[in-house]
């Protein structure tokens, strides 16, 4: 039996230097080659003759180079043209502003060209994909079929790689081992593996290609989901945490302090959290809810529950401003309850920091609110029973793990205002249970989202001025602190001065990330207590800041911010009972920036915004790798292939339920692949041999 783990250099055509190039693509073995699936395919089974080519169509032609040359237009554009033809006629192939193309061709070359055809004086095919057919003896891999196009770097040609793949598929596909038990294949209508691999590279038809890809994607997703299911099983079955006592005086007194009733959504979520906390199994829950949906108070409820039973609670947030705000609000709200609260954030004096750390260590502090400082080395808790992480998209998995490690399997609640659709969340946050707050507290007035071009910026300022005249306050946000020679972006520092001149009677304040903690604290307090009317700021106010009287959010250079950031910024307003205005000022220069602004104007629903964002940026960018720590997907796409993901998830859950350690003979290959894919410590498969 051939072995897929042998080096790719055993493939015909791969010498030492080419092997180096393959290594750079992450390809070491024959197996890596086999699983290097094409980026797309090109249908060259229908090669057109020149006489059959129609303007407006995407066509593939096989032609000879007759002549070529380039010229420069009056406007300075370089046009390179080939005259090409076959026995039925002559046409042009044209490349714009790519003068180096002229070094690639020789008269007499045979070519396959693929691209959009237009009619000028002659028919011409514009910026076509091209392939020079050097080896006329055997073109069976390259024309007259659906042809694979691979994700390659400059130094590797499609043609060479395709020959390598053809050899690999012809000689090694039989060594591929199908890991799926028969039942799973039957239930999900999946093609056998060897057939799938063959057709993923060199498909016999579009229909078969689709089925082939579906099979390979399923395999990839199944391993992912099995890994997740295993991790969940480990947490749920093996770990012992704390069982919190739900009944008690403290929570009751806390409820009486609240100036409002919980929404139904909040009640439902609190119930889910309570059940987790009461159970001896550690809670691992994600709370999703749009900005302003009232997550913080739910978290506080849970923290009080922990404190009531004699444990400590911790709330970790991404910025000092937020830590400070939570500390003040919570201290104020809870003052009658005799709970000791410690704030631990950025630049405390060493002595003060040590004092607070000591309080936490000996258990004098019941509730700890802080930034990353909470997970720093040397931070110890006496009895941490619940850790809450707010705005978790600002932290990574590693940080979640660190906070958890401050105690023996404490309950963990993470919160996010970048909600994503449920199946997606179950994958990306696979080891977490999910709760969703899907309504806003009553009485919220609408937020009007407006868009102005740069030249109309002053209209935006006028709206802010009118709002202040009504007793409200406003934010104006800039992408940078200071202007620089390298860009023409307005910066917050200078714009504070300009806006002070624009509003001579108003108090204009300034806030940015380079200020000292104490300064930031003072500015936020001044804003809160209305000693500042208009706060000029950078993105530091992106998350969490809760000042209900502010009703205008102007974002200048809105094109410089991501969609989720814009949505978060908009979430700073619309928190009171007044109509609010979110005004985006921008001259977007590319389509992506335009589509972000369009999305903001179209919807206010955070779930929809997140979906748009995912669409625009793609899952890789959207989630970032540091956020989930899942193995990288090579073939499937969690957004595009959601349907397959759901099937794989269902099968994986079943699989792990029936055979948790995958000891049954029919699951042996899944187990082996799983071990390869996930690192041991992550999976905790190691303990089982």
- Where on the chain is the footprint of Mg ion (CB under 5 A)? 296, 544
Which of 295, 326, 520, 578 binds ligand ADP (CB under 6 A)? It is 295
316 binds ligand ADP (CB under 6 A): no
Q: Find the shortest distance in angstroms from Cβ 315 to Mg ion.
A: 10
The only residue of 44, 372, 575, 671 in contact with ligand ADP, by rule CB under 6 A? 575
**% helix / strand / coil in the chain, to the nearest 5?**
45, 20, 35
154 phi and psi angles, rounded to 5 deg: -50, -40
State the DSSP H helix or E strand holding residue 673, giving kind and residue range, or none if neither. Answer: helix 668-677
For ligand ADP, the binding residues in 243-272 under the rule CB under 6 A are 260-263, 266
Q: Which residue is nearest to ligand ADP (CB)?
A: 294
CB-wise, 224 or 341, nearer to Mg ion? Answer: 341
Comparing C-alpha atoms, which of 358, 406, 355, 413 is closest to residue 384?
406
Q: Please report whether residue 419 would count as binding ligand ADP according to CB under 6 A.
A: no
Least spacing, CB of residue 30 vs Mg ion, in Å: 51
Q: Quote the least distance from Cβ 544 to ligand ADP, whole Å.
A: 6
Q: How far is CA 367 from CA 182, 331, 359, 667, in A?
A: 54, 10, 11, 47
Residue with smaller CB distance to Mg ion, 544 or 636: 544
If you write DSSP's letter for every residue of 163-218 in order, what string do you get? HHHHHHHHHHGGG----S-HHHHHHTT---HHHHHHHHHS-SSHHHHHHHHHHHHH
CB of residue 292 vs ligand ADP: minimum separation in angstroms?
5
Instruction: For residue 294, state whether it binds ligand ADP (rule: CB under 6 A).
Output: yes
Q: Does 241 bind ligand ADP (CB under 6 A)?
A: no
181 binds, among Mg ion, ligand ADP, none (CB under 5 to 8 A by kind): none
Residue 231 or 575 having the CB closest to ligand ADP? 575
| C-beta closer to ligand ADP: residue 261 or 497 | 261
292 binds ligand ADP (CB under 6 A): yes
Q: Tell me if 286 contacts ligand ADP by CB under 6 A.
A: no
Tell me the β-bridge partners of 580. 447
Cβ at position 163, least distance to ligand ADP in Å: 57
CB of residue 437 vs ligand ADP: minimum separation in angstroms? 7
- Pick 142 or 295: Cβ nearer ligand ADP: 295
How near is the Cβ of 438 to Mg ion at its closest, in Å? Answer: 16
Burial class (CB in 10 A: 0-12, 13-18, 19+), 609: buried
Phi then psi for residue 47, to 5 deg, are -90, 125
Task: Return the one option of Mg ion, ligand ADP, none that residue 122 interacts with (CB less than 5 to 8 A, by type).
Answer: none
Residue 281 interacts with which of ligand ADP, Mg ion, none, CB < 5 to 8 Å by class? none
Instruction: Give the tokens for residue 520.
Output: 């930031």
> From the list ligand ADP, Mg ion, none, which binds 266 (C-beta under 5 to 8 Å, kind-based)?
ligand ADP
> Which DSSP state fits 48?
B
567 lies in the binding site for ligand ADP (CB under 6 A): no
Please give the sequence-ordered ranges of beta strands (E in DSSP) within 371-505, or none if there are none.
384-389, 411-416, 433-437, 447-452, 473-477
Closest alpha carbon to 452 in 442, 443, 466, 462: 462
Q: Which is nearer to Mg ion, 435 or 467 (CB)?
A: 435
Contact of 37 with 11, CB cutoff 8 Å: no
The region of 56-64, 293-301, 399-407, 644-652 touching ligand ADP under the rule CB under 6 A is 293-301
Residue 148 or 544 having the CB closest to Mg ion: 544
Please give the Cα distance from 284 to 282 (Å, whole number): 6
Long-range contacts of 617-624 (CB under 8 A, 24+ apart): 617/562, 617/563, 623/428
Instruction: Look at residue 546 and give the partner it binds from ligand ADP, Mg ion, none, a contact being a CB closer than 5 to 8 Å depending on partner kind.
Output: ligand ADP
Parallel, antiparallel or unpaired: strands 341-344 and 367-370 = parallel
- The vertex-392 CA angle with 433 and 575, nearest 5°, equals 105
Q: By CB under 6 A, tell whether 297 contacts ligand ADP.
A: yes
Shortest distance, CB of residue 322 to Mg ion, whole angstroms?
8
- Contact status: 473 vs ligand ADP (CB under 6 A): no
Give, as ranges, the residues between 430 and 459 that touch ligand ADP (CB under 6 A).
441
Answer whether 297's CB lies under 8 Å from 259's CB.
no
Specify the stretch interacting with ligand ADP by CB under 6 A; choose among 285-293, 445-453, 498-506, 649-657.
285-293
Minimum distance between the CB of residue 317 and Mg ion, rounded to whole angstroms? 8
User: If residue 658 lies in a helix (H) or strand (E), which one and from where to where?
Assistant: helix 642-658
Q: What are the residue ranges of helices labelled H in 345-434?
A: 350-362, 397-404, 422-428
C-alpha to C-alpha distance for 59 and 76, rounded to whole angstroms: 29
Compute the least distance from the CB of residue 262 to ligand ADP, in Å.
5
Residue 509 as a binder of ligand ADP (CB under 6 A): the answer is no
Q: Which of ligand ADP, Mg ion, none interacts with 159 (beta carbon under 5 to 8 A by kind)?
A: none
Residues 148, 162, 110, CA angle at the centre, nearest 5°?
Answer: 95
β-bridge mates for residue 111, sequence order: 63, 132
What is the nearest approach in angstroms of ligand ADP to the Cβ of residue 404? 22
Per partner kind, with CB cut-offs from 5 to 8 A, the member of ligand ADP, Mg ion, none near residue 262 is ligand ADP
| Residues in 536-565 that interact with ligand ADP by CB under 6 A | 546, 548
The answer to whether residue 62 forms part of the interface with ligand ADP (CB under 6 A) is no
Measured from the CB atom, the residue of 58 and 258 that comes closer to ligand ADP is: 258
Sign of CA dihedral 538, 544, 545, 547: positive
Which one of ligand ADP, Mg ion, none interacts with residue 293, CB within 5 to 8 A by kind?
ligand ADP
- Report the residue from 113, 291, 630, 648 that binds ligand ADP according to the rule CB under 6 A: 291
Question: Measured between alpha carbons, how far is residue 160 from residues 100, 146, 152, 163, 209 in Å?
Answer: 21, 17, 11, 5, 22
| Rounded least distance, CB 300 to ligand ADP, Å | 9
Residue number with CB closer to ligand ADP (94 or 293): 293
Closest approach of ligand ADP to the CB of residue 442, in Å = 7
> Quick check: 410 and 387 in contact, CB under 8 A?
yes
Measured from the CB atom, the residue of 330 and 674 that comes closer to ligand ADP is 330
CB atoms within 10 A of CB 18: 18
Q: How many residues make contact with ligand ADP (CB under 6 A)?
A: 18
Q: How far is the CB of 115 from ligand ADP (least distance, A)?
A: 49
Question: Checking DSSP bridges between strand 312-316 and strand 384-389, what pairing results, if any?
Answer: parallel
Stretch that binds ligand ADP, among 287-295, 580-588, 628-636, 642-650 (CB under 6 A): 287-295
Give CA–CA dist 555/582, Å, rounded.
8
* Choice between 224 and 298, CB closer to ligand ADP: 298
Check binding of 417 to ligand ADP (CB under 6 A). yes
- Whole-number Å distance between alpha carbons of 105 and 548: 67
C-alpha span between 144 and 160 (Å, rounded) = 17
Instruction: CB nearer to Mg ion: give 395 or 678.
Output: 395
Contact between 293 and ligand ADP by CB under 6 A: the answer reads yes
354: Cα within 13 Å, side-chain hemisphere: 3
User: Which residues contact ligand ADP by CB under 6 A?
Assistant: 260-263, 266, 289, 291-297, 417, 441, 546, 548, 575
């Amino acid at each position: 039996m051939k072995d897929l783990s042998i080096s790719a250099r055993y493939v015909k055509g791969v010498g030492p230097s080419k092997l180096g190039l393959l290594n750079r693509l992450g390809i070491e073995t024959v197996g890596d080659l086999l699983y290097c699936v094409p980026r797309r395919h090109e249908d060259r089974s229908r090669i057109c003759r020149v006489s059959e080519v129609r303007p407006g169509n995407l066509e593939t032609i096989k032609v000879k180079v007759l002549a070529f040359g380039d010229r420069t237009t009056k406007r300075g554009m370089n046009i390179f043209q080939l005259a090409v033809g076959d026995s039925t006629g002559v046409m042009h192939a044209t490349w714009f502003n790519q003068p180096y193309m002229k070094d690639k061709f020789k008269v007499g070359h045979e070519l396959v060209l693929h691209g959009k055809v237009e009619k000028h004086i002659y028919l011409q095919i514009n910026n076509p994909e091209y392939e020079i057919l050097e080896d006329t003896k055997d073109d069976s891999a390259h024309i007259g079929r659906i042809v694979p196009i691979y994700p390659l770097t400059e130094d590797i040609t499609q043609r060479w790689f395709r020959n390598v793949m053809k050899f690999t598929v012809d000689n090694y596909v039989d060594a591929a081992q199908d890991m799926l038990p028969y039942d799973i294949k039957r239930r999900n209508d999946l093609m056998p593996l060897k057939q799938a691999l063959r057709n993923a590279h060199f498909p016999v038809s579009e229909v078969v290609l689709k089925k082939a890809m579906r099979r390979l994607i399923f395999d990839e997703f199944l391993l992912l989901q099995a890994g997740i299911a295993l991790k969940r099983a480990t947490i749920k079955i093996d770990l012992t945490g704390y069982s919190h006592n739900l009944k008690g005086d403290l929570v009751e007194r806390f409820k009486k302090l609240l100036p409002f009733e919980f929404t139904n959504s909040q009640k439902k979520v609190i119930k889910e959290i309570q059940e987790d906390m009461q159970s001896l199994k550690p809670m691992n829950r994600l709370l999703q809810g749009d900005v302003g949906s009232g997550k913080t108070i739910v978290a506080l409820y849970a923290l009080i529950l922990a404190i009531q039973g004699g444990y400590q609670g911790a709330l970790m947030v991404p910025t000092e401003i937020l830590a400070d705000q939570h500390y003040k609000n919570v201290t104020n709200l809870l003052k009658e309850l005799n709970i000791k609260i410690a704030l631990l954030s950025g630049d405390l004096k060493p002595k003060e920091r040590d004092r607070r750390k000591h309080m936490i260590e000996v258990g004098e502090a019941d509730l700890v609110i802080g930034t990353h400082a909470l997970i720093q080395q040397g931070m110890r808790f006496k009895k941490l029973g619940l850790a809450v992480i707010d705005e978790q998209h600002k932290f990574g998995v590693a940080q979640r793990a660190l906070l958890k490690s401050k105690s023996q399997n404490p309950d963990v609640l993470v919160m996010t205002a970048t909600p994503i659709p449920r199946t997606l969340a179950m994958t990306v946050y696979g080891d977490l249970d999910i709760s969703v707050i899907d309504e806003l507290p009553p009485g919220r007035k609408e937020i009007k989202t407006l868009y102005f071009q740069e030249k109309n910026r002053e209209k935006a300022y006028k709206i802010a001025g009118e709002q202040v005249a009504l007793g409200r306050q406003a934010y104006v946000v800039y992408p940078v602190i200071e202007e620089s020679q390298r860009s023409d972006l307005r910066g917050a520092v200078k714009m504070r001065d300009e806006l002070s001149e624009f509003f001579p009677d108003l108090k204009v304040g300034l806030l940015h990330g380079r200020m000292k903690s104490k300064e930031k604290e003072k500015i936020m307090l001044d804003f809160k207590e209305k000693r500042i009317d208009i706060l000029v700021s950078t993105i530091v106010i992106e998350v969490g800041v809760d000042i209900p009287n502010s009703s205008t959010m102007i974002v200048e250079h809105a094109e410089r911010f991501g969609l989720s950031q814009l949505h978060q910024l908009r979430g700073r307003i619309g928190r009171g009972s007044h109509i609010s205005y979110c005004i985006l000022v921008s001259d977007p220069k590319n389509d992506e920036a335009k589509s972000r602004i369009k999305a903001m104007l179209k919807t206010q629903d955070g779930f929809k915004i997140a979906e748009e964002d995912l669409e625009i940026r793609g899952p890789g960018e959207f989630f970032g790798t540091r956020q989930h720590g899942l193995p990288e997907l090579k073939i499937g796409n969690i957004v595009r292939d959601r349907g397959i993901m759901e099937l794989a998830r269902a099968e994986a859950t079943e699989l792990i339920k029936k055979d948790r350690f995958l000891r049954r003979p029919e699951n042996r290959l899944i187990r082996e692949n799983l071990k390869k894919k996930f690192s041991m410590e992550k999976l905790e498969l190691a303990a089982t041999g």
